[in-house]
Structure 1
């Protein structure tokens, strides 16, 4: 414990120095920081849970040099490095089958960066991606000790709170579409899609009626927030999530008796018209616009037209640079030189010429090349496979509770991977945290002895 005591002594001297400096008002903050670091040293999983809970609120601190999540992240990095150095954490915790893809992906990423068409854009992209990589390592180291029930509660509560802000305040809307504390309605819809399966798990697992009503209310607010985003991709992902959940609980659905069917039909008669009435007219129009898609017709929906142009430009970039791409973060630069950028930026700011692909997979394949794109997809597929294997392992141990938890986590992770087809977010923090947790949960499930199984 020499190292922690030396750090505490150093921070104590910093506090004394601040008291003697022209800025004594900073000393209480240093004391609170000292207390926070001491708590994180004893309970590092609290830091990861704090980051998870603060992610939906990052928009509040986008202009600040040090936000709550940044403080927690930096503190965890220092603490975990120290614990690894003094062998309080075994290095074996870094073991993960994701590394076999991630190492080669990063090697190709660096080669693409060296061969980039714009070094400034590529370095900015690398800085953003490095945050996700750091969270990946942190989740690997302490994910085994993570309270997953508390994880689900914090995600559900934090995203629900942003849904409340977006539903009832126009400040958190963009032209009528809810953005929460983010700048993009689709990015906000991605958070909601991630939280919905976890919120549904809490409803199912509620120990009494009061808890069930509370988490049920959160679930309804999440659905309301999704509707307010007017995100068509969010609606598709949400429908798939609910369908998978219904299939998982198909055995419980068989328990419904004929006398329950009347109440279910009455509820549907009441809820469906109310949902249609509450749905914004703009959302209905956006959904109806999907029916006009045809190969030769000009799209009447500007958003769909833009997305089609991203595919055309991205495909051309892939054909011209199939091995290493054009460099990380360079898609906007190439898109801005096309006629599509001018057409879809009419009467807009000049900065709107530089648009991202709004498809993480297309962006990675075009910017990093086909090999790196395949490795990235391989990581996500392996993550889903890890959760399937973990669920199977718990079922073999007759632990239905853990298997259900893995099912809902798997649906949440699947929602993230599907949403990456509609959003450029290779550095999305939930993606990298969940990617690390998939291998941790699989190892934990497969190492659990059979005699510890629940009857």
Structure 2
């Protein structure tokens, strides 16, 4: 009763203050905002779903101090901290087998930060990484309430929406390459590769034919968006995940009877040539360049591959110079700008284009944080993949095919993210830390169900 009166009084004072201010139109927003906070307090998982859905639209709010994702994240931190203080969350919510390797990685990171060559850059890198760490904690706390199917729907639809924008509007392209609402085609390809296994699961598990066709259309839209990005790494990652997915569903493929085989071959004979014909000529040329890698990289013919080779040279030298603590988080661009590679591969006039990141998260962590920190970061990724695998195995042992498929497609999305980290610098990517937090919960939940089933037997 006292809390209700206090909140009501605070609400009245805020509304009166806004009415007397130059912005009286904001007074209704306070009521709407408090209603939203009340909803988040009762269902914090909704906030995580909102953050995941807003990731493809982050480019709309670039440079803004107040965005939907920031407000949701800050609100969830306050709400979950309050619920922990009031003991409204059970202690088992904090259980996760990634806490120990994460703590060791942060220790190595802080040691590297202490000996950093540039504290200003390292502190900026720490602020970026803190976003991912906060999302990991949030995911661990709300995973038990998270509707994973809804997560699949929101991520698939939000990425597909940006694909549609990129396909129909040149404003969402750079040099003919689709970027969606982001600034880089490869980052956009990462989102597509991440969402494709989720939309594929929705198409396979849809309860009705119409819903199955709709999700299949979403999946095809994602694939079309991938071809428009001209991303070679995106194609490699997507094909790899497709092959693994087909292997997982091999038992279902065996159910195709001989009388259906003709229709399957006819569909393949139509779809495959049309798909190849629809590929842009520039994309085909970029794909062919991957085949020519066995004869070596010619930087004059392919500046992109030459740049990536130069990142490896600079990163390797940084590791040799500082193998234990690295040069400090966020310092790779400074080292790269001091080499001749920066000027040789510069695409724009001025000095800003000289300071380039490693475009390889693993190389960046190893060179900036040191070998121990790099190994611990890689261990986090491998343990996350292992968690999804164990969740799949436990679900299969329980006879729950749907949960097993769910864990498999989550693992495919996470694998796409892990592979893409070899081509992009994104140690603070929101999806990465959400999936890490989710992996530990799924494993514990699946193994607990299996243990209960065995006890009953």
After TM superposition, the score normalised by the length of structure 1 is 0.97
Q: Secondary structure at the match of 2:181?
A: coil
CA shift, 1:11, in A, is: 4.0
The alpha-carbon distance between structure 1 residues 251 and 9, as it changes in their structure 2 partners (threshold 3 A), is farther
Distance 1:420 1:71 in 2: 27
Contact 1:230-1:283 at 8 Å conserved across structures: yes
Which residue of structure 2 lines up, in the alignment, with residue 368 of structure 1?
A: 369
CA shift, 1:20, in A, is: 2.1
CA shift, 1:438, in A, is: 0.4
CA shift, 1:92, in A, is: 3.0
Distance 2:9 2:453 in 1: 47
Distance 1:6 1:48 in 2: 28
CA shift, 1:420, in A, is: 0.3
Which residue of structure 1 lines up, in the alignment, with residue 405 of structure 2?
A: 404
Q: Secondary structure at the match of 1:293?
A: helix
The alpha-carbon distance between structure 1 residues 292 and 46, as it changes in their structure 2 partners (threshold 3 A), is same
Q: What is the aligned-residue RMSD (CA, Å)?
A: 1.8
Which residue of structure 2 lines up, in the alignment, with residue 47 of structure 1?
A: 47
Distance 1:257 1:185 in 2: 41
Contact 1:105-1:376 at 8 Å conserved across structures: yes
Distance 2:223 2:374 in 1: 33
CA shift, 1:320, in A, is: 0.2
Which residue of structure 2 lines up, in the alignment, with residue 191 of structure 1?
A: 191
Q: Secondary structure at the match of 1:426?
A: coil
Which residue of structure 2 lines up, in the alignment, with residue 117 of structure 1?
A: 117
1:250 and 2:250 aligned: yes
Distance 2:119 2:128 in 1: 14
Which residue of structure 1 lines up, in the alignment, with residue 93 of structure 2?
A: 93
CA shift, 1:15, in A, is: 2.2
Which residue of structure 1 lines up, in the alignment, with residue 418 of structure 2?
A: 417
CA shift, 1:214, in A, is: 0.7
Which ranges in structure 1 are unaligned for 5 or more consecutive residues? Answer: none
Q: Map 1:37-436; keep pairs closer than 5 Å.
A: 37-294=37-294, 298-299=298-299, 300-345=301-346, 347-436=348-437
1:19 and 2:19 aligned: yes
Distance 2:162 2:7 in 1: 37
* Greater Cα offset, 286-295 or 128-137: 286-295
Deviation by residue 1:304-358 (Cα, 9 ceiling, x = unmatched) = 0000000000000000000010110110010000000000015544211000000
Distance 1:134 1:79 in 2: 13
CA shift, 1:260, in A, is: 1.5
Contact 1:8-1:34 at 8 Å conserved across structures: no
Distance 2:428 2:2 in 1: 36
CA shift, 1:119, in A, is: 1.1
Distance 1:24 1:374 in 2: 55
Contact 1:397-1:450 at 8 Å conserved across structures: no
Distance 2:374 2:353 in 1: 26
Distance 1:125 1:8 in 2: 41
Distance 2:307 2:283 in 1: 18
CA shift, 1:2, in A, is: 6.2
Distance 1:9 1:232 in 2: 59
The alpha-carbon distance between structure 1 residues 144 and 283, as it changes in their structure 2 partners (threshold 3 A), is same
Distance 1:100 1:402 in 2: 27
CA shift, 1:16, in A, is: 2.4
The count of residues paired between Structure 1 and Structure 2 equals 455
After TM superposition, the score normalised by the length of structure 2 is 0.96
Q: Which runs of 4+ in 1 moved over 6 A?
A: none
